[in-house]
A = this chain, B = another copy of it.
Amino acid sequence: MEVISGIGELKALRSCWMRPIGLVPTMGYLHDGHVALVRRAREESKTVVVTIFVNPTQFGPSEDFGCYPRAFERDVSILQAEAVDVVFAPSSAVMYPEGFSTWVEVEGITSRFEGAIRPGHFRGVATVCSKLFNIVDPERAYFGQKDAQQVAVIRKMVQDLNMNLDIEAVPTVREADGLAMSSRNAYLNGPERAAAAVLFRALSAVQEMYRAGCRDMTKMSNCMRRIVGEEKLVELDYAAIVDPASFEVVNSLEHPALAIVAARVGSTRLIDNMPLHV
């Protein structure tokens, strides 16, 4: 396994790699959710490239960039055990040299939900993904379904700018009690960790309603709010049922839909979602 930190170095080596190339962009501090992405990439690619880069431009000024958890040596061991071919781990100075001034902006979807709560977040995500896609030039890039709005933003960018890769969303990996795996779960103390599972319970309840034939979206959103509201350590940001491509609130459930939820548990912000289908 090669560990590379320079862009020119990676581009020079790239011409020797067997195709298809599968890219798994991560911010490190890897958990089983990341491993699921890597395994899927491994199955479908001749060369698997995992990037580890805590991207400063997708964090707001009051967010957790400085204390975002890092465990580089452990991450490298995990990726080695998964037979990854290349780890790309650039510094911020390599990715954003002095004078950097180009941004990729996906309008519309980025004004809703996570985009509304975290201004600039998706601009940072779209820009860093554009860069990583150009640097690695993969046939496919793999993202976790847990960050469903991120997946939708990146798919829209790829489509609008005619980029030459496919975006694959990999199902969310969950803890035993249903909590979606996230590097930010490390921030939770004992009682918070127990309370956090309420997001999964709320989403599951809505999925059950849907499977039982309910198509009343107000009732379903209220159900999520009520369940989350029962946990006093958890403060809801939003609970809604949306179109999975546009993240617009849906008016009918004839088409595929996604139940989404975001909440703060202590000072930690968590998001989760569940597709609605029978």
Given contacts A134-B161, A134-B162, A134-B163, contact A104 B107 (CB under 8 A): no
A118 at the interface (CB under 8 A from B): no
Pick from B101, B127, B162: contact of A135, CB under 8 Å: B162
Q: Size of chain A's interface in residues, with CB distance under 8 A? A: 27
Given contacts A7-B162, A134-B163, A137-B164, contact A103 B101 (CB under 8 A): no
Contact in complex: A108, B104 (CB < 8 Å): no
Give the chain B neighbours of A103 by CB distance below 8 A. Answer: 104-105, 107
Interchain nearest-CB distance for A29 vs B (Å): 25
Interchain nearest-CB distance for A94 vs B (Å): 10
- The contact string, 1 if C-beta is below 8 Å from chain B, for chain A 137-153, is 10000000000000000
21 contacts between A and B (CB under 8 A): A7-B162, A99-B108, A101-B106, A101-B107, A101-B156, A101-B160, A102-B106, A102-B107, A102-B126, A102-B161, A103-B107, A104-B161, A127-B161, A130-B161, A131-B162, A134-B161, A134-B162, A134-B163, A134-B164, A135-B162, A137-B164
Interchain nearest-CB distance for A158 vs B (Å): 9
Give the chain B neighbours of A101 by CB distance below 8 A. Answer: 106-109, 156, 160
Contact in complex: B157, A102 (CB < 8 Å): yes
Interchain nearest-CB distance for A105 vs B (Å): 5
- The contact string, 1 if C-beta is below 8 Å from chain B, for chain A 144-184, is 00000000000011001111100000000000000000000
Given contacts A161-B131, A164-B134, contact A104 B106 (CB under 8 A): no
Given A102-B104, A131-B160, A131-B162, 11 further pairs, Cβ under 8 A: A101-B108, A102-B126, A103-B104, A103-B105, A103-B107, A104-B104, A104-B161, A127-B161, A134-B162, A134-B164, A135-B162
